[in-house]
Amino acid sequence: MGIENHLNNTVHVTNLEWFVNWARKSSMWPLGFGLACCALEMIATFVSRYDLSRFGMEVARPSPRHADLMIVSGTASKKMIPAVRRIYEQMAEPKWVIAMGACACTGGIYKNYAVVQGIDRHLPVDVYIPGCPPRPEALLDGILQLHAKVMKEQSIRRPRLTNVKAV
Amino acid sequence: MKELLPEETIISSELFREQMVMMVKSEHILKVCEIAKNDPELAFDFLSFVAGVDRYPSTPRFEIVYQLYSIKKNHRFRIKCRLEEPTEGLPRIDSVVAVWPTADWHERETAEMFGIVFNNHPDPRKLLLPDHWKVYPLRKDFPLEGSETETPDLPQ
């Protein structure tokens, strides 16, 4: 490109929105909300064999205030829903949710009075990963799909100033 | 098969199978449990579980099962008692927490799942179910999937 050659390739010129999206996807910190068996598969994805830190995600923050991505892994019972909602509301924008496993997607094999039939009844889910439990490769595939979704986001919207006074 | 001699207990019936089961009237359950624990030959110091059974079309409707084990003597025993469903209110039975403190949580779970009230229970809260539900899920006339009105996700 023109200006980069002129500056001896020291400056990278890009679209600001692309840049912001790239920064968000490359350092998304997960809040591993492990509830049941899928949590073990999530842990297996964190360790060195299916390394998750190559995506910038090795800091799995226990506190929702520090996290961007909530991976709901496991069976959500109806008694747990107020806690899940409170933790989701404590996360700062921008935030994404992955529903990992059959129980988080639709209630799984538990169609009974005690299990929420899918946490998308209470949280806005971005990526659904089916499986019981999904293999670590499936979780990685879901995370890559989430990255693709983040890259397409319109994170910097043009502000429409409707009541600006001329100065 | 363990030989077992219940002494001066008030028994309504006694059944023999591979395991010893004894059916007791529900008013006398506390006394029977005290004897089972304190008698030196029986010495049932370990309560394995307290469970409830809903025998819906048959009467009396509910049955409470106490599985006992003796650590010293290595023999097992089961006590059952039947409870009728009263015309209004919930069936009541004495709590055996004074005899075996482990019965605390077992009775809390049985109470919330079947709707049975244990008299003199030290902590009669719900154990597993959410607090805003008012139904008894393990009864036979309760649908498996629950319902939006009776078992809602969130308190209204």
Residue A163: inside a domain:
no
For the annotated binding site of A for [4Fe-4S] cluster, the residues are 37-38, 103, 132
pLDDT band, very low/low/confident/very high, at A156 (cuts 50, 70, 90): low
Residue A9: inside a domain:
yes
Residue A92: inside a domain:
yes
- Whether the CB-CB separation of A58 and A52 falls below 8 Å is answered with yes
Task: Look at residue A5 in the predicted model and tell me its pLDDT.
Answer: 61
Question: Mean pLDDT over all residues of chain B?
Answer: 82
Task: Look at residue B12 in the predicted model and tell me its pLDDT.
Answer: 60
Task: Look at residue B74 in the predicted model and tell me its pLDDT.
Answer: 85
Question: Token digits for B104?
Answer: 């605390």
Cβ of residue A87 closer than 8 Å to a chain B Cβ: no
Scored b (16 or more CB within 10 A) or e, A123-146 reads bebbbbbeeebbebebbbebbeeb
- For residue B145, the chain A residues in CB contact (below 8 A) are 111-113
Task: Look at residue A161 in the predicted model and tell me its pLDDT.
Answer: 42
CB neighbours of B115 closer than 8 A, spacing ≥ 6? B90, B91, B136, B139
Which residues does B contribute to its contact with A (CB < 8 Å)? 128-130, 137, 142-147, 151-155
CB neighbours of B110 closer than 8 A, spacing ≥ 6? B50, B51, B52, B64, B116, B118
End-to-end alpha carbon distance in chain B? 54
- For residue A114, the chain B residues in CB contact (below 8 A) are 129, 137, 146, 151
Residue A123: inside a domain:
yes
Residue A157: inside a domain:
no
Task: Look at residue A3 in the predicted model and tell me its pLDDT.
Answer: 61
Peptide bond before residue B60 is cis, with ω within 30 degrees of 0:
yes
Residue B86: inside a domain:
yes
DSSP codes joined into one string, B41-72: TT---EEEEEEEEE-TTSSS-EEEEEEEE-TT
Question: Which residue, among A104, A113, A150, A153, has the nearest Cα to A131 in the 3D structure?
Answer: A104
Q: Could you tell me whether strands B62-69 and B11-16 are parallel, antiparallel, or unpaired per DSSP bridges?
A: unpaired
Residue A11: inside a domain:
yes
Mutate to test the interface with A, among B153, B154, B156 (most CBs of A within 10 A): B153
Residue B153 has its nearest CB partner, among A81, A111, A112, at A81
Q: Which domain holds residue A75?
A: 2-151
Say how far apart CA B74 and CA B2 lie, in whole Å.
9
- For residue A79, the chain B residues in CB contact (below 8 A) are 128-130
Residue B43: inside a domain:
yes
pLDDT tens per residue, range A36-54:
889 999 999 998 898 888 8
β-pair partners for B50: B66
Say how far apart CA A19 and CA A26 lie, in whole Å.
10
For the annotated binding site of A, the residues are 37-38, 103, 132
Residue A100: inside a domain:
yes
CB neighbours of A159 closer than 8 A, spacing ≥ 6? none
Task: Look at residue B1 in the predicted model and tell me its pLDDT.
Answer: 41
* pLDDT > 60? residue A23: yes
Question: Closest residue of A to B156, CA-based?
Answer: A82
Residue B41: inside a domain:
yes
Say how far apart CA A57 and CA A45 lie, in whole Å.
11
- Kindly report the nearest CA distance between residue B131 and chain A, in angstroms: 8
Residue B5: inside a domain:
no
- For residue B151, the chain A residues in CB contact (below 8 A) are 78, 113-114
What is chain A's Cα-based Rg?
A: 19
- For residue A121, the chain B residues in CB contact (below 8 A) are 153
Task: Look at residue B14 in the predicted model and tell me its pLDDT.
Answer: 66
Say whether B153 and A114 touch across the interface (CB within 8 A).
Answer: no
pLDDT tens per residue, range A104-134:
999 889 988 888 898 988 889 999 999 998 9
pLDDT band, very low/low/confident/very high, at B78 (cuts 50, 70, 90): confident
CATH of residue A73:
3.40.50.12280
Confirm whether the ipTM is greater than 0.90. no
Give me the percent of chain A exceeding a pLDDT of 90: 34
Neighbouring CB atoms inside 10 A of B131's CB total 10
Number of domains in chain A: 1
Q: Which helix (H) or strand (E) holds A143?
A: helix A136-151
Residue B79: inside a domain:
yes
Residue B53: inside a domain:
yes
Question: Closest residue of B to A76, CA-based?
Answer: B153
CATH of residue B43:
3.30.460.80
* pLDDT > 70? residue A9: no
Residue B143: inside a domain:
no
pLDDT tens per residue, range B6-57:
555 556 666 666 677 787 878 878 888 888 888 777 788 899 999 999 988 8
Say how far apart CA B127 and CA B105 lie, in whole Å.
7
Residue B69: inside a domain:
yes
Say whether A79 and B129 touch across the interface (CB within 8 A).
Answer: yes
Mean of the pLDDT values across residues A73-77? 90
Using alpha carbons only, give the angle B46, B48, B53 rounded to the nearest 5 degrees: 140
Q: Which domain holds residue B58?
A: 11-92
pLDDT band, very low/low/confident/very high, at B135 (cuts 50, 70, 90): confident
Task: Look at residue A135 in the predicted model and tell me its pLDDT.
Answer: 92
Residue A162: inside a domain:
no
Number of domains in chain B: 1
- Whether the CB-CB separation of A24 and A146 falls below 8 Å is answered with no
* pLDDT > 90? residue A99: yes
* pLDDT > 50? residue B113: yes
Task: Look at residue A60 in the predicted model and tell me its pLDDT.
Answer: 84
